[in-house]
Amino acid sequence: MARQLRVRSLAVMPSAILATLAVALVVSTRMAGSPRSVAAPPAGKKLLDPGAWGSDHVGQPIPEYMESGECLFCHRNEVGGTWQTNKHNRTIRDAEAGEPAVQALRADPKTKDLADEVQLILGDTRAQKFLKRSAGYGKVDLLTAGAVFGRGRRAKIESPEKPHWDAQTFALECAGCHTTAVDPRTHAFATLSLDCYTCHGDSPAEHTNDPKLMPLAKARKDPPAAITSICASCHVRFGKSKATGLPYPTNFVTGDNLFKDFQVDFAQADNPKLNPADRHVMENVRDVVLNGRETMTCLSCHDVHSGSSRRHRDLASEQYCMHCHDSAEPIKGHKTYEVHSDRCRY
């Protein structure tokens, strides 16, 4: 039941996004001269209202967006080559019989009977979860037992006691960040894993003549707050939608201001116990949307399509870097860290 491509006229869509970005541009110009703060601002400093600019799609239908097959027909050269291995594309994929996680499931007497039912794997090098398709459209069941990877990258089954398929949890707690275009009423997703739409949004077909119509196009120079809204819509694992109470955003469409509906616990950026992976995200998001420090976004360091963070090496050293480096200059080597997440159950 795949969605059909329906190319829509320019007149329908971009006005909302353009209005959003126009407001965001005003915000960014206004903030250009403000003092830069790296850590939490001193008491009394005026914080921005993250929800002040732009609009969102809460209560509106999900746009009829263009799917990756269509995009890649034209973009197979720049993007097609890396998309197959891109971690966004692969966050959920078919479970191959030889997968270490599936083998570990089969090797454990408590879970072995379920191994043949596993159809999909969710996750990466630290933890993986087992899924199977539900009868209902856009739903999957989550196995209560999952795999974690320890030393030597051996898979180990966690919570193997009384393993069973859970039909609720994925839709209510995971779908919004691991699948594409989740319907806020039914919690059904349109496509497994993350399609181009999750970052590039409801991209107009007319962008082929005018790339500036395409969110994240180089020529367009999207405002930092708009970029941060995109990445934070999944990478902030400490938020809750006001509209639904669920731990993922409600019908977020690129160009929206995420923070109109998504309530974020920014204090996590100061939580010394939080792992460096989540902390550097939380601090950068807070810097941009609360402190108005717009000189550095996720894209100052990350190239999403190549999956590389090489460009971050050329930045000037500052306190922020110490999430992952020791305070020595020049920077050599980096800290090793573990990542656990209550949100993602690993």
Residues 160-179 that bind ligand HEC (CB under 6 A): 169, 173-174, 176-178
State which of positions 142-161 bind ligand HEC (CB under 6 A): none
- Judged by CB under 6 A, how many residues of this single chain contact ligand HEC? 88
Residue from 106, 235, 240, 340 in contact with ligand HEC (CB under 6 A): 235
State which of positions 16-45 bind ligand HEC (CB under 6 A): none
281 binds ligand HEC (CB under 6 A): yes
Minimum separation from the CB atom of position 281 to ligand HEC (A): 5
Q: Residue 44 or 250: which CB sits closer to ligand HEC? A: 250
Q: Which residue has the tokens 């991209």?
A: 203
Backbone Cα Rg of the chain? 21
Beta 140-149 vs 155-158: how paired, if at all? antiparallel
Spatial distance between the Cα atoms of 199 and 234, rounded to a whole number of angstroms: 10
DSSP state letters, 82-107: HHTT-TTTTSEEEPPTT-HHHHHHHH
Contact 323, 334 (CB under 8 A): no
Q: Residue 27 or 233: which CB sits closer to ligand HEC? A: 233
* Residue span binding ligand HEC (CB under 6 A) among the ranges 95-103, 132-140, 158-166, 298-306: 298-306
Which ranges in the chain belong to alpha helices (H)? 14-31, 68-75, 81-83, 100-107, 169, 175-178, 197-200, 224-235, 276-289
Minimum separation from the CB atom of position 165 to ligand HEC (A): 13
Minimum separation from the CB atom of position 301 to ligand HEC (A): 3
* Residue span binding ligand HEC (CB under 6 A) among the ranges 38-46, 54-62, 102-110, 279-287: 279-287
216 binds ligand HEC (CB under 6 A): yes
Could you give the 3-state DSSP secondary structure of residue 21? helix
Tokens linked to 137: 């459209």
- The 8 Å CB, 24+ separation contacts for 34-40 are 34/292, 34/293, 36/293, 36/295, 37/287, 37/291, 37/293, 38/287, 38/293, 38/318, 38/319, 38/320, 39/270, 39/319, 40/269, 40/270
* Residue span binding ligand HEC (CB under 6 A) among the ranges 18-26, 50-58, 110-118, 276-284: 276-284
Contact 142, 174 (CB under 8 A): yes
Minimum separation from the CB atom of position 260 to ligand HEC (A): 16
State which of positions 52-111 bind ligand HEC (CB under 6 A): 66, 68, 70-75, 78-79, 83, 87-88, 91
* Residue span binding ligand HEC (CB under 6 A) among the ranges 8-16, 109-117, 184-192, 205-213: 205-213
226 binds ligand HEC (CB under 6 A): no
Residue from 20, 28, 198, 251 in contact with ligand HEC (CB under 6 A): 198
Contact 229, 27 (CB under 8 A): no
Q: Residue 109 or 273: which CB sits closer to ligand HEC? A: 273
Residue from 33, 42, 152, 333 in contact with ligand HEC (CB under 6 A): 333
